Structure 1
Amino acid sequence: MKNKLLYVLFLLVSMTAVGQTDLTWDDLAKIDYTEKYFPAYESNFLYPEFSKEITDLQGKEVTLSGYFLDVDPNGELIILSKNPLASCFFCGNGGPETAVEIQFKSKPDFKTDDVVLITGTLQLNKDDVEHFNYILTDCSGFQLK
């Protein structure tokens, strides 16, 4: 009986471990960049080389906490940032790895600089300079404080 109980407990624990992966900003910082010329823009852009750990998470559900930034008046670009708006990537505090584009299933009622926990499917973007290197799709989330 004791062995059966341990077996059931093991199954329950292993089943919950299969869910989303918790990401940190340190995980996302494991990226290298090289300059690459994009003829359509007649300019060089930083071309990302993702770490193996991050590449292995492509298409998987992940969770990441950060600052909610609704920077587009049309609501078409929403960002999860390592830093609040006053010290975010666009203000020169950090690189592209400190901001993630988030695309919600249905947009929540968060305000800029709310600290939130977001769950979504990780997409890695190397070639589309119109979007961020890291994109979370089909997102849901809640406010932490």
Structure 2
Amino acid sequence: MHLKTSFITLLSLVLFTSFISVTGFNNDIWKILLKVKYHFKDNKYIPKFEAKHKALDRKTVTISGYMYPLDEAKEHQYFMLSYYPIKVCFFCGGAGPESIIEVNTQKPIKFTSKKITLTGQLRLNPDDPDRMFFILLNARQNK
């Protein structure tokens, strides 16, 4: 009986920890994404995804960051999400391409300069140089 209880407790802990690491504490997601290695070749950034990155591919994640719209509209369904505020983003400051996520949302999201939290399916992009390393699909804003 004790062995069965211990096994159930251990299994519950493993499942709960897995759930939190993907859907809960989104700073942990950034810690993984920010560690992607890449090189610059033929005028393109080429990512090298490790097992820890591949484990997140096609998973539903919750992540916070700063919205970088690509046009001047008040609401956006396609934009970039950055770990850093605009003054130090990949495009404007000293950060790298690993700090940006390309986002496609289910519904338009009103622009804000404040940090936002999104949930969506994370996809890794190993080979299309015209897109970001990370793409968040079917994202929705968490209130």
TM range (shorter): 0.7 to 0.9
1:18, distance to aligned residue in structure 2 (A): 6.5
5+ residue gaps in structure 2?
A: 1-8
Q: Between the two proteins, what is the percent identity of the paired residues?
A: 30
- Residue 67 of structure 1 aligns with an amino acid whose one-letter code is Y
Change (3 A) 1:76 1:142: closer
Question: What residue is the counterpart of 2:89 in the other structure?
Answer: 88
Instruction: Provide the C-alpha distance between the structure 1 equivalents of 2:105 and 2:29, rounded to a whole number of angstroms.
Output: 20
Question: What residue is the counterpart of 1:106 in the other structure?
Answer: 107
SS at match of 1:128: coil
TM-score, normalised via structure 1 length: 0.74
Instruction: Provide the C-alpha distance between the structure 2 equivalents of 1:15 and 1:25, rounded to a whole number of angstroms.
Output: 21
1:89, distance to aligned residue in structure 2 (A): 1.0
Change (3 A) 1:114 1:71: farther
Question: What residue is the counterpart of 2:131 in the other structure?
Answer: 131
1:115 aligns with 2:115: yes
What is the total number of aligned residue pairs between the two structures?
131
- Residue 82 of structure 1 aligns with an amino acid whose one-letter code is Y
Indicate if the aligned counterparts of 1:69 and 1:112 stay in contact, CA closer than 8 A.
no
1:24 aligns with 2:22: no
Which one has the largest radius of gyration? 1
Give the CA RMSD over aligned residues. 2.7
